[in-house]
Amino acid sequence: MIINHVSKQSSILNKFIAEIRDKNIQKDALRFRTNIERMGEIISYELSKTLDYKSKDIRTPLGIKRMKVLNDQVVLASILRAGLPLHMGVLHIFDDAENAFVSAYRKHKPDSDDFDIHVDYVATPSIQDKVLVLVDPMLATGQSLVAVYDKLKQFGTPKELHVISIIGSKQGIDYISEKLPGNTHLWIADFDQELNDKGYIVPGLGDAGDLAYGKKL
């Protein structure tokens, strides 16, 4: 797997990462969602540099200019519900992308921190020969991403596979490196070394879905 640590070179991205981690700033759900969207835009710009382009004549009011335009069809696939703000940020850049949405959740075993990943709902176009971009803000254990990719494979074989996350754990990155195709590109804003007993990233930021949309039952 090809790992792109986007915040390794300091930029305004680091400010947004700091704010989504800050427990006081997190109290503003609108700001939290907006920062996730902004990071999606920044990471997508970096990703866009690796895609395929073609030359096309563009007619202006005064003449014709030959320009490079995207030659790949992108499909954005997000895991509900935490992935929605990040999805929107990516969609701001790849504004003509097709979209897929998958419901995946942790189903805990009785009286245990152990869990399985259940995928209940998939809405997707064909991904055959397209650039598939999996969007999930928190790459904790990596199990959700792998389960979603395994589910999407029945809809075709993508030309390229990219994963966009905001914060990941070393364990999660190692897991998807083993389970996803070897030429997968991971685009990640930042990563932490640890997972706690419940499978949450430490220090991380908490539950991204709850911070964006409110606590669930």
Q: Is the pLDDT of residue 110 over 90?
A: no
User: How sure is the predictor about 107, in pLDDT bands with cuts at 50, 70 and 90?
Assistant: low
Q: Is the pLDDT of residue 123 over 90?
A: yes
Handedness of CA 82, 84, 85, 90 (dihedral sign): positive
- Do 86 and 37 meet the contact criterion of CB atoms below 8 Å apart? yes
- Give the residue among 118, 145, 130 at the shortest CA–CA distance from 1: 145
Higher pLDDT, 33 or 215: 33
C-alpha atoms less than 13 angstroms from C-alpha of 206 in its C-beta half-sphere: 17
Q: Could you tell me whether strands 74-80 and 131-135 are parallel, antiparallel, or unpaired per DSSP bridges? A: parallel
User: How sure is the predictor about 105, in pLDDT bands with cuts at 50, 70 and 90?
Assistant: confident
Q: Supply the mean pLDDT for the chain.
A: 94
pLDDT digits (tens, 9 = 90+) for 75-104: 999 998 889 999 999 999 999 999 999 987
Distance CA 114, CA 128 (A): 34
pTM over 0.95: no
pLDDT digits (tens, 9 = 90+) for 172-202: 999 999 999 999 999 999 999 899 988 889 9
Q: What is the mean pLDDT of residues 122-136?
A: 97
Q: Could you tell me whether strands 185-192 and 194-195 are parallel, antiparallel, or unpaired per DSSP bridges? A: unpaired
- Do 46 and 6 meet the contact criterion of CB atoms below 8 Å apart? yes
Higher pLDDT, 105 or 5: 5
Buried b (16+ CB within 10 A) or exposed e, 10-21: eeebeebbebbb
Provide the CA 61 distance to its chain's centre, in angstroms.
Answer: 39
Token pair for residue 193? Answer: 């070394």
User: How sure is the predictor about 216, in pLDDT bands with cuts at 50, 70 and 90?
Assistant: confident
Q: For residue 215, give the 3-state DSSP assignment.
A: coil
- Could you tell me the domains of the chain? 2-213 (3.40.50.2020)
129 Cβ contact partners less than 8 Å away, ≥ 6 residues apart: 156, 157, 158, 159
So what's the pLDDT on residue 116?
73
Q: For residue 148, give the 3-state DSSP assignment.
A: helix
Q: Is the pLDDT of residue 108 over 70?
A: no
pLDDT digits (tens, 9 = 90+) for 37-78: 999 999 999 999 999 999 999 999 999 999 999 999 999 999
Q: For residue 35, give the 3-state DSSP assignment.
A: helix
Q: Is the pLDDT of residue 24 over 80?
A: yes
User: How sure is the predictor about 112, in pLDDT bands with cuts at 50, 70 and 90?
Assistant: low
Distance CA 68, CA 100 (A): 27
Backbone angles phi, psi at 82, to 5 degrees: -60, -25
